[in-house]
Amino acid sequence: MNLPDIKEARKRSKKEVEHIYLDQHYDNSTFKNKKYFLRTYGCQMNVHDSEEIAARLESLGFKETEELDDADIIILNTCAIRENAHDKLYGFLGRCKHAKSIDKNKIIGICGCMAQEEGVVNELMKKHPYVDIVFGTHNIHELQDLILERSKKQNIRVYSCEGDVYENIEYKRDSSVKAWVNIQYGCDKFCTYCIVPYTRGKQRSRKSKEIIKEVKDLVKKGYKEVTLLGQNVNAYGKDLEDELSFAELLQSVADTGIERVRFVTSHPWDFTDDMIDTIAKNDNIMNYIHLPLQSGSDNILKRMGRRYTKKEYLELFNKIKDRIEDVAVTTDIIVGFPNETEEDFNDTLDVVNTCKYDSAFTFIYSPREGTPAAKMEDNIDMKTKEERLQKLNELVNKYSLENNKKLEGKIVKVLVEGTSEKGENKVFGYTETMKLVNVSNAKEDIGKIIDVKITDAKSFSLDGEKCK
Ligand code: SAH
Ligand code: SF4
Ligand code: F3S
């Protein structure tokens, strides 16, 4: 077993990453009439990994079930970004243990970012022997073998070193309208609070020709939208020789003719003028940018290792707003980082008041073992952290509502994705600027981009009617 050594991860020398083309086929009658239950926590990266996991399970003959008790194999794809991830895992394991006490042939599997944490794997081995398989983020391609090889012993496959880049991966995509496309794996930024570089390894980019091939294939299959995925998409290609820059990749993806191109996440550090120009001049690259701030205080930004100042962030923000027509910008913010003073927090509020974000994900800082920030004294009490979060959320929601209200009475383009939970005759979809819209009288338009008149705006969604 090869477990992640968080202390060593920072010092790791660059490994020669191989680009491997998968061509192994499995017998899909092996688990005929058997069912799988798959639960996913975490970011889009994990959601997309689960699309791969589902395809791998189906290649062995498993069919999906929504009922845990019906499942012959239960897989939990975990996230490690904040401490409450542990509570979710152990809460879920309780249910698995119960299910297995009724049917001892059930297979229980744990994967995802928590499976890359040494402490978690040790605990699973010691205290949760009914867990049959554990596989890390670099070992998803081994899932079928892990299942086929299973024995009475726990089968653990977790590589600490970043994995190779695999091509020809099959996915069972959740949507037939929009698709995730990985463009890079891992992250080299090592923000001091963040566990991702340890759970996902160093940055490895896919080759642009493989990305374009995948997008062209999606266009052929009728997909209307792709989202290019990576933890720091604008650093795309920097780990490869003679590769396109992210701006050039965006242009090539736009040139495939796909109707909508999105990308997440862009770090303010690598955001180039070329990127802004490329987004501005291509109608099919959406005018929506997620630009994580994390903090508005130079002091805190420095200790977070974010590599930009409040002034630099605001300059970039203004450039984006000036050059990209009607662009929507969203962000991520952490409150209660060690030593965050009232003044530091006010700097964050100040940036929010300046940028008036379309929306923001806000978090209380959660120390992650093995990261540099976890060694800093966490000297802000929980009450203060919660008060700051509440104050921040009130401000963020105020601007979300203000921005959304501006759309009332306007006509916007919506890609209709499916039926809405908001009423029988309603469907839902997203605007070009990534706002959720519930639309009446457009049931026959699933999979299409339609004009919608916005009738009502709330903080987190819009209501609209299809234009005749
Ligand atoms: N690669 C992306 C972020 C991925 S994690 C980026 O750099 O923007 C998503 C968000 O989780 C981060 O933007 C951050 O706001 C939050 N986050 C990460 N680590 C955290 C921690 N230890 N405590 C609280 N929030 C955290
Ligand atoms: Fe984490 Fe920073 Fe990498 Fe984002 S850029 S994944 S916050 S280390
Ligand atoms: Fe969570 Fe891993 Fe994503 S820690 S946020 S699932 S990269």
Q: Of 164, 193, 208, at which residue does a domain stop?
A: 164
Q: What is the pLDDT of residues 388-417, one digit of tens each?
A: 999 999 999 999 999 999 999 999 999 999
pTM > 0.75: yes
Residues 74 and 208 in one domain: no
**Helix or strand or coil: residue 103?**
coil
Q: How confident is the model at residue 425 (pLDDT cuts 50, 70, 90)?
A: confident
Q: What is the pLDDT of residues 298-317, one digit of tens each?
A: 999 999 999 999 999 999 99
Q: Is residue 311 part of a domain?
A: yes
Please report the DSSP string for 334-402 in residue order.
EE--TT--HHHHHHHHHHHHHH--SEEEEEE----TTSGGGGS---S-HHHHHHHHHHHHHHHHHHHHH
pLDDT of residue 47: 97
pLDDT at 6 over 90: no
Q: Is residue 169 part of a domain?
A: no
pLDDT at 118 over 90: no
> Which atom of ligand 1 is nearest the CA belonging to 368?
22
Residues 16 and 121 in one domain: yes
Residues 282 and 321 in one domain: no
Q: Which range is least confidently modeled, 168-172, 205-209, 268-272?
A: 268-272
Q: Whose CA is nearest to atom 19 of ligand 1?
A: 194
Does ligand 3 lie within 6 Å of residue 462's CB atom? no
Residues 11 and 149 in one domain: yes
Give the number of whichever ligand sits closest to the CA of residue 264: 1
* pLDDT mean over 9-36: 81
Q: Of 133, 164, 195, at which residue does a domain stop?
A: 164
> Which atom of ligand 3 is nearest the CA belonging to 78?
6
Residues 191 and 117 in one domain: no
Q: What is the pLDDT of residues 23-62, one digit of tens each?
A: 889 999 999 999 999 999 999 999 999 999 999 999 999 9
Whether a cis peptide bond, with omega within 30° of 0, leads into 265 is yes
pLDDT of residue 160: 73
pLDDT of residue 151: 65
Q: How confident is the model at residue 336 (pLDDT cuts 50, 70, 90)?
A: very high
* pLDDT mean over 339-361: 98
pLDDT at 120 over 80: yes
> Which atom of ligand 1 is nearest the CA belonging to 292?
8
Q: Is residue 170 part of a domain?
A: no
Q: Is residue 70 part of a domain?
A: yes
* pLDDT mean over 182-203: 94
Does ligand 3 lie within 6 Å of residue 403's CB atom? no
Report d(CA 34, CA 463) in Å as an integer: 41
Q: Whose CA is nearest to atom 1 of ligand 1?
A: 231
Q: How confident is the model at residue 17 (pLDDT cuts 50, 70, 90)?
A: confident
pLDDT at 275 over 60: yes
* pLDDT mean over 96-110: 93
**Cα torsion 314, 191, 13, 160: sign:** negative
Q: State the residue range of the domain holding 417.
A: 411-466
Residues 188 and 303 in one domain: no
Report d(CA 183, CA 240) in Å as an integer: 12
Angle between the 208-220 and 246-255 helix axes, to the nearest 10 degrees?
30
> Which atom of ligand 2 is nearest the CA belonging to 188?
3
